[in-house]
Amino acid sequence: MGLLSSCFGIIGFTLGIPIGLLVGFFLFVYSETKLVKDPVVRPISELGPHALEELLPEIPLWVKTPEFERIDWLNKFLSDMWPYLDTAICKIIRSTAQPIFSDYIGKYQIKAIEFDKLSLGTLPPTICGMKVVETNEKELVMEQVIKWAGNPNIVLSLYVSSLKITVQLVDVQIFAAPRITLRPLVPTFPCFANIVVSLLEKPHVDFGMRVSGGDIMSIPGIYIFVQDTIKKQVANLYLWPRTLEIPILDESMVVMKKPVGILHVNVVRAQKLLKMDLLGTSDPYVKLSLTGDKLPAKKTTVKRKNLNPVWNEKFKIVVKDPQSQVLQLQVYDWDKVGAHDKLGMQLVPLKVLKPYENKEFTLDLLKDTNLNETPNKKPRGKIVVDLTFVPFKEDSSKFGGPSEGYSRKESGIDVVSDDEVQEGAGLLSVVIIEAEEVEGEHHNNPFAVLTFRGEKKRTKMMKKTRHPLWNEEFQFMLEEPPQHEKIHIEVLSRRKNLSFLSKQERLGHVEINLRDVVHNGRINDKYNLINSRNGVMHVEIRWKVV
């Protein structure tokens, strides 16, 4: 029976092959062909970002987002510097972790904590793209996307009682989008005072952890718990708007002092001044100024033929550093012809004044700042002044807070209501920073003229440029908030030499309503110039109330 089935199998195989070939040949020859449709071809631009991400999941960010720049040069630089950065970063980690470890020694029977091995490995992070964000502030803002699949070798040893427990970190993967801000920009190398770091989104962190040789991340539930904990902790510390600020320059080295208050000066009188005129009298007046201030000195009126003048004239002077600035009082004899003769002078350091406290000084006039004058020299008389230093409301916390009769202590810039801004003197500071795309028909020597309450201030002239950078500040002491007033700024140009050959050219102007400044405390914006094709002006205005 078996022999018979084998014979039939051989016969079937022998006959089946030629019969199958014959049938296939006739089907191929006599069967009708079907039309093959051409595939639909669409340009990649029509697929959309989601389809592109599915086709190319690892497409670089500088391809998907045109705002991000390709920075292969920086990755090459980072790759070459990585061995040295690894050593430097590990040193910082050791020095930072040492005091933290010291706090735990002696607790929970922990005898010692130390790094057995500490290395970030041979694989540097990769910066997938970077963009620079433009702002109106004196700062440089950069946003990056960083990926790091590293091979670090970090082994931490804990000596607990008589046991040694080793914790090893392996296979680290980090994806983060940090924002790095260099601010403020200053004219002192390295040209920025602080590095401010924050995260634009929660980072992705993946790693393995071995404790005494065992991978604890493989325990069910541990991996997800550790991931969520790290993301929450990092987000609570550094997710925007929370930041990590790293100081680079000492504040004393940064020349960026802003006004912090007002010095109220009442020049009361002078006594027994020197006789400078032929008739045995003098025509005295007083000049007041603060050291470290480039503003013009303030002057009292001239008292004709008087050796014991009484002025009772009040002035307000802007203070930037009450610990170092000094009030200079200089008494002159006015002359109709020639230079005015100096009758005497005196200095008052502002650090002797307590905030909000009125203090009267009766000062002996000196010939100059040499305090070692011999006592037998001819006396030059005395001058009596009243001084009061009043900090601005937002800076009052630096000086112990306001006293009775002054505004309540606040920090930062607050938005106030209409009722609150109806009273209170203050300082209006206008900084004309720069202009762009200003163009004259005959010449481009732009300068700006600021007009406020009939008073005009002018910047310096910049020669042959369409992008003048002035960065000049003008200040106005006001008795009440200027919430219903405007500032007029006009950009002009005139020929530097032989100006009589051509008239001034008007390159554009702008009017700024001060209501927002009074309510917000500060504005910093760019304005399109009226009567200019493409001109733009950058202005910062601050309002500080005492």
Give the tens place of pLDDT for each residue, 32-91: 666 666 777 777 666 666 666 666 666 666 566 666 777 888 889 989 999 999 898 888
Neighbours of 392 (CB within 10 A): 24
- Joined together, the tokens standing for residue 403 give 């006293």
Q: β-strands 153-160, 140-150: how paired?
A: unpaired
d(CA 433, CA 446): 13
In this prediction, residue 80 carries a pLDDT of 92
Mean pLDDT score, 483-496:
90
Mean pLDDT score, 509-523:
91
pLDDT at 149 over 90: no
Of the candidate ranges 49-63, 187-201, 340-354, 478-492, the one whose mean pLDDT is the lowest: 49-63
- Residue 68 Cα distances to 44, 73, 130, 131, 196, angstroms: 20, 14, 5, 5, 20
Of the candidate ranges 185-199, 231-245, 415-429, the one whose mean pLDDT is the lowest: 415-429
pLDDT at 143 over 70: yes
Phi, psi of 330 (to 5 degrees): -125, 125
Is residue 512 classed exposed, middle or buried when 0-12, 13-18 and 19+ CB atoms within 10 A define those classes? buried
Q: First vs last Cα of the chain: how many Å apart?
A: 120
Residue 393's pLDDT band (cuts 50, 70, 90): confident
- Asked if the domains 259-368+378-389 and 424-543 are classified in one and the same CATH topology, the answer is yes
Mean pLDDT score, 167-186:
85
Mean pLDDT for all residues in the chain: 81
The total number of residues written for the chain in this structure: 546
Residue 134's pLDDT band (cuts 50, 70, 90): confident
What sign has the CA pseudo-torsion 268, 273, 275, 281? positive
Mean pLDDT score, 391-411:
55
In this prediction, residue 241 carries a pLDDT of 79
If DSSP states are collapsed to H, E and C, what string results for 432-497?
Answer: EEEEECCCCCCCCCEEEEEEECCEEEECCCCCCCCCCEEEEEEEEEECCCCCCCEEEEEEEECCCC
Higher-confidence residue of 87 and 408: namely 87
Higher-confidence residue of 264 and 47: namely 264
Mean pLDDT score, 486-501:
79
Of the candidate ranges 392-401, 423-432, 522-531, the one whose mean pLDDT is the lowest: 392-401
In this prediction, residue 411 carries a pLDDT of 35
Residue 409's pLDDT band (cuts 50, 70, 90): very low
pLDDT at 278 over 80: no
Mean pLDDT score, 289-313:
88
Of the candidate ranges 50-64, 258-272, 285-299, the one whose mean pLDDT is the lowest: 50-64
Residue 404's pLDDT band (cuts 50, 70, 90): very low
Q: How far is C-alpha 171 from the geometric centre of its chain's CA atoms?
A: 37
Domain covering 424-543: architecture: Sandwich (2.60)
Higher-confidence residue of 156 and 228: namely 156
- Joined together, the tokens standing for residue 16 give 């089946």
In this prediction, residue 403 carries a pLDDT of 44
In this prediction, residue 408 carries a pLDDT of 33
Task: Check: CB of residue 167 under 8 Å from CB of residue 158.
Answer: yes
pLDDT at 459 over 60: yes
Cα-trace Rg, the chain: 39
Residue 370's pLDDT band (cuts 50, 70, 90): low
Mean pLDDT score, 349-375:
82
Enumerate the β-bridge partners of residue 366. 345
Task: Check: CB of residue 311 under 8 Å from CB of residue 288.
Answer: no
Neighbours of 303 (CB within 10 A): 20
Q: How far is C-alpha 494 from the geometric centre of its chain's CA atoms?
A: 35
pLDDT tens, position by position, 87-125: 988 888 888 888 888 877 877 777 888 888 888 888 999
Task: Check: CB of residue 418 under 8 Å from CB of residue 515.
Answer: no
In this prediction, residue 156 carries a pLDDT of 85
Is residue 428 classed exposed, middle or buried when 0-12, 13-18 and 19+ CB atoms within 10 A define those classes? buried
pLDDT tens, position by position, 183-193: 888 877 888 88
Of the segments 17-26, 47-56, 406-415, which one has the largest average pLDDT value?
A: 17-26
In this prediction, residue 479 carries a pLDDT of 84
Domain ranges of the chain: 55-249, 259-368+378-389, 424-543
Of the segments 133-147, 361-375, 496-510, which one has the largest average pLDDT value?
A: 133-147
Residue 410's pLDDT band (cuts 50, 70, 90): very low
Q: How far is C-alpha 457 from the geometric centre of its chain's CA atoms?
A: 28
Mean pLDDT score, 478-499:
85
Higher-confidence residue of 66 and 132: namely 132
Mean pLDDT score, 514-524:
90
If DSSP states are collapsed to H, E and C, what string results for 175-232?
Answer: EECEEEEEEEECCCCCCEEEEEEEECCCCEEEEEEEECCEEHHHCCCHHHHHHHHHHH
Mean pLDDT score, 490-494:
92
Please state which CATH number belongs to domain 259-368+378-389: 2.60.40.150
Higher-confidence residue of 14 and 2: namely 14
% of the chain residues with pLDDT over 70: 79
